[in-house]
């Protein structure tokens, strides 16, 4: 048998081009193959990414809708205490973080297309309930807590989205892809804080009666919820008909649960709590923090800026980490966050000192920026760490190398989602700390935590001879 004939016999069958069309399940996917990536992979991955981004952005809107809604409840006659309002902003973080853990393992199992569509359409339920509840000032506090808890499910979409999208991209582009997906998705925090004050003053968009404020003006709190319902329906449909499910990403829990025995899963979770936990927690707490600490300044004018900066910085953080290394950028982010929070403490009111809102706000913007950079760099570290651990000592092109690479991809996706789930509890704990402790005391606690994160990142990932350089 000639050499050419032998090659023809052993050549793997060509992939069916139809499987790469929108709405199909893809059974053959090789993003590390340059020829495949140029001819097919990049186009398909890009389509799936840019459908995922707006769906994730609006999921963040649902997750964060209480951060602004809570600031208006007392103005229209709800008799909730300041502590109760902080708790309403915190509860979505508790359910969002918990649901993220489940979504981490369910998302890749079910598939990007199906899971994005389903996890998007279910968010219609808490928004409809919220829209009706805020129109009645006799709505019990317990009911409001239940609605806030259901809104928290929107935050869980992040874990499934990033775990799925990561499978579409080759190693050298994962940081940028997850930075785009996560960063622009995180912009939902800013969108809800920027648009909600505008939406609730529009009688044109109102479904139902308005609510009177003490000064006689009328607002429509239900708009903050109802306006997003048709958007969610459209995005769910686009995901269903436009994305793809990757067979290679469909992994049973039995193969994913190994991450709970991996030391670097827990270490990276610790670091991501410091970056994303701070970002989402500060985003949830800042509107009420401004209203209670500097009441002369408008929440609507300022609150959205920090989350917007942090979200865009995440994109930049992933890109920079691809160039400079994730661990170095992560350490820089924690140094910046610690310095920024010390600045916030310096400008807070204390005793007869009225503080400085300008200094307070600029330092908070810096904290958001560095948290966003750290969000991007930590997620870039994860696939690098797990590839390095699994492929150590193996020769590329061997069956052992291919099997190890496959397992590294599985574990990277699972760790990405799990760390995001645990870090989301920052949404709960930071507002809860402000509800139960003095603001200054809470801030110093954050600074101490960032210092410990610097030590962990340097020792395990950045120092010469580090166990898992990344």
Q: Which band of pLDDT confidence, cut at 50, 70 and 90, is reported for residue 15?
A: low
Q: Which band of pLDDT confidence, cut at 50, 70 and 90, is reported for residue 32?
A: confident
Inter-CA distances, 186 with 55, 59, 66, 183, Å? 11, 9, 16, 5
pLDDT at 2: 47
Q: What phi and psi, each to the nearest 5 degrees, are found at residue 25?
A: -95, 130
- pLDDT above 80 for 220: yes
Tell me what the mean pLDDT of segment 429-435 comes to.
83
CA 452 – CA 271 distance, rounded (Å): 9
Tell me what the mean pLDDT of segment 200-205 comes to.
84
CB 431 within 8 A of CB 70: no
pLDDT at 178: 77
pLDDT at 1: 46
Q: Which band of pLDDT confidence, cut at 50, 70 and 90, is reported for residue 413?
A: confident
Higher pLDDT: 13 or 429? It is 429
CB 279 within 8 A of CB 368: yes
Q: Which band of pLDDT confidence, cut at 50, 70 and 90, is reported for residue 357?
A: very high
CA 1 – CA 114 distance, rounded (Å): 47
pLDDT at 93: 86
Q: Which band of pLDDT confidence, cut at 50, 70 and 90, is reported for residue 250?
A: low
Half-sphere exposure of 257 (CA within 13 A, CB side): 3
Mean pLDDT (the chain) is 88
Q: Which of 268, 275, 360, 269 is nearest to 310 (CA)?
A: 275
pLDDT at 123: 97
Centroid of chain to Cα 356: 31
CB 417 within 8 A of CB 98: no
pLDDT at 407: 87
Inter-CA distances, 127 with 62, 396, 425, Å? 7, 50, 21
CB 279 within 8 A of CB 307: yes
pLDDT at 11: 39
- Domain 31-243+250-462: assigned CATH number: 1.20.1250.20
Q: Which band of pLDDT confidence, cut at 50, 70 and 90, is reported for residue 360?
A: very high
When mean pLDDT is compared across 48-62, 153-167, 321-335, 432-446, the lowest value belongs to 153-167
pLDDT tens profile 268-283: 999 999 999 999 889 8
- pLDDT above 50 for 12: no
Percent pLDDT > 70 in the chain is 96
Neighbours of 353 (CB within 10 A): 9
Tell me what the mean pLDDT of segment 232-253 comes to.
87
- pLDDT above 80 for 326: yes
pLDDT at 312: 87
When mean pLDDT is compared across 62-76, 167-181, 229-243, the lowest value belongs to 167-181
CB 461 within 8 A of CB 330: yes
Residue whose structure tokens are 């810096």: 366
pLDDT at 257: 85
CA 61 – CA 99 distance, rounded (Å): 16
CB 274 within 8 A of CB 446: no
Torsion angle of the four alpha carbons 131, 135, 138, 144, in this order, in degrees rounded to the nearest 10? 20
pLDDT tens profile 86-121: 889 889 988 988 998 888 777 777 877 998 999 999
- pLDDT above 80 for 255: no
Higher pLDDT: 223 or 173? It is 223
Q: Which 3 state secondary structure label does DSSP give 463? A: coil
Tell me what the mean pLDDT of segment 395-408 comes to.
86
Higher pLDDT: 186 or 154? It is 154
CA 309 – CA 368 distance, rounded (Å): 6
Per-position DSSP letters for 55-89, written without gaps between them: HHHHHHHHHHHHHHHHHHHGGGT----HHHHHHHH
Domain ranges of the chain: 31-243+250-462
């Amino acid at each position: 048998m000639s050499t050419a004939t032998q090659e023809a016999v052993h050549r793997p069958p060509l992939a069916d081009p139809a499987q790469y069309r929108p709405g199909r399940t893809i059974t053959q996917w090789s993003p590390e193959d340059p020829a495949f990536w140029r001819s097919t992979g990049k186009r398909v991955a890009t389509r799936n990414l840019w459908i995922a981004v707006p769906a994730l952005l609006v999921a963040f809107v649902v997750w964060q809708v209480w951060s602004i809604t809570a600031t208006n409840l007392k103005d229209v006659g709800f008799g909730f205490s300041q502590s109760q309002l902080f708790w309403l902003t915190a509860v979505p973080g508790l359910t969002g973080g918990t649901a993220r853990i489940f979504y981490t393992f369910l998302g890749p199992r079910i598939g990007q297309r199906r899971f994005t569509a389903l996890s998007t359409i279910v968010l219609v339920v808490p928004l409809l309930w919220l829209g009706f509840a805020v129109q009645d000032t006799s709505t019990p506090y317990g009911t409001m807590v239940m609605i806030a808890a259901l809104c928290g499910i929107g935050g869980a979409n992040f874990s499934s989205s990033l775990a799925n999208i990561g499978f579409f991209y080759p190693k050298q582009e994962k940081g940028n892809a997850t930075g785009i997906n996560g960063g622009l998705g995180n912009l939902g925090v800013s969108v809800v804080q920027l648009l909600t004050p505008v939406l609730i003053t529009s009688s044109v968009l109102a479904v139902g009666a308005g609510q009177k404020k003490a000064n006689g003006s009328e607002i429509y709190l239900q708009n903050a919820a109802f306006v997003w319902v048709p958007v969610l329906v459209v995005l769910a449909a686009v995901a269903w008909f436009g994305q793809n499910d990757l067979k290679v990403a469909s992994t049973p829990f039995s193969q994913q649960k190994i991450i709970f025995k991996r030391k670097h899963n827990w270490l990276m979770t610790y670091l991501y709590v410091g970056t994303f936990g701070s970002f989402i927690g500060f985003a949830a707490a800042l509107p009420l923090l401004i209203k209670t600490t500097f009441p002369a300044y408008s929440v609507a004018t300022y609150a959205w800026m920090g989350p917007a900066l942090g979200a865009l910085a995440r994109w930049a953080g992933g890109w920079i980490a691809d160039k400079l290394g994730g661990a170095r950028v992560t350490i820089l982010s924690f140094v910046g966050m610690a310095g920024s929070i010390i600045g916030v403490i310096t400008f807070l009111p204390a005793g007869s000192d009225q503080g400085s809102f300008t200094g307070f706000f600029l330092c908070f913007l810096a904290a958001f920026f560095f948290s966003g950079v750290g969000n991007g760099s930590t997620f870039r570290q994860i696939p690098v760490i797990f590839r390095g651990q699994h492929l150590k000592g193996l020769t590329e092109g061997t069956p052992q190398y291919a099997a190890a690479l496959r397992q590294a991809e599985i574990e990277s996706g699972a760790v990405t989602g799990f760390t995001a789930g645990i870090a989301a509890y920052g949404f709960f704990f930071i507002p809860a700390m402000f509800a139960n402790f003095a603001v200054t005391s809470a801030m110093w606690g954050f600074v101490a935590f960032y210092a410990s994160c610097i030590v962990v990142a340097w020792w395990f990932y950045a120092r010469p001879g580090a166990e898992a350089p990344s």
